[in-house]
Amino acid sequence: MRFVSKVLGLVSPRWRTMDEWLDVYVDIVAQREYSSQTFKNKAICVRHIRRGLGSEPMRSIKPHHLSTLVRSFLPDRAPTAQRVLDELRDVFTEAVANGWADANPALHVRRPAAKVTRQRLTFETWTTMRQHAVAGTVRWVEPMLLLALITGQRRGDLLKMRFDDVWDGVLHIEQQKKAGKKHGARVAIPLALRLEVIDMALSDVVELCRHYAKPGPTMLRKRNGQAFVRPEMLSYRFEETINLVGTWPAGARPSLHECRSLSERLYRKQGIDTQTLLGHKHQSMTDRYNDDRGLSAGEWKHLVLAPEVEEIP
């Protein structure tokens, strides 16, 4: 029966495969307003799904099939397992909506836990990295470290910061991460913002960025003034510098993104509104950045008593 249907070009819905559906699904996803990085991440997940389930008829796929695929990435690639499951849930949601499936089996698969192994960046490590950067030959590494710490922004936002984003004494940032919205969070940071532990204001860092290389539109740029095209270059120089500071267990070395957590923790001690600074909609997300992942576990937490109030006779 299936052979006859294929000969006639009328494949029964019962036998339409995951491969065939994913061809349709990719076109549906292409209509969404995602960032280029999100499209790239989803494409990787779709390739994993094709490899694991491509030949399976859509209506014969059960939760245990999906669970087997997801578990194949454990334990070493838990984040990938999570992303593949998220993609599977979207794949089947669209399949149900378009008549390719009757139910979403991915909803019955337990989300795998991902153990965080990456260590938080300490201020001491950051300071030593800055010292290496000052002594090094790549002059834009120190401005990168300073800009990342004093603004608390993501790698992609650091890359696109421009001098003409500054007006009325404020640095204006539209974050690249849109989280399903038409535009990212818009954060206006006063140049007067000062990070006490380095005794510098944002205005000081902006001025440093003006003079370390030939003039150019972006704050982080090459020696000749040209802007960086790929954010990976920032991560590469960060990793190169942090490797000069010490050795790290597999998967534990802090990344450039950890400057964002360090910035949040330092500013929170100053009483700064870090939720607005980081551009988060919910305080709970900001609190995740405040978690130092055990760095202060051995420290004593001192209780400060309220001062006594003298009675007025």
Catalytic residue positions? 154, 177, 257, 260, 280, 289
Spatial separation of the C-alpha atoms in residues 67 and 108, rounded to whole Å: 9
Calculate the CA dihedral of residues 59, 60, 66, 68 and round it to 10 degrees: -170
Spatial separation of the C-alpha atoms in residues 61 and 92, rounded to whole Å: 10
Spatial separation of the C-alpha atoms in residues 104 and 97, rounded to whole Å: 10
Question: 98: number of CA atoms within 13 Å, CB side?
Answer: 16
Beta strands in the chain (DSSP E): 166-167, 170-174, 186-190, 194-195, 200-201
CB 144 within 8 A of CB 109: no
User: Nearest 5°: phi and psi at 97?
Assistant: -65, -25
Place of tokens 């005794």: 199
DSSP string, 164-212: GGEETTEEEEE-S--TTSSS--EEEEETT-EEGGGTEEHHHHHHHHHHS
* Structure tokens, 47: 């390739």
CB 239 within 8 A of CB 255: yes
* Structure tokens, 66: 């999906």
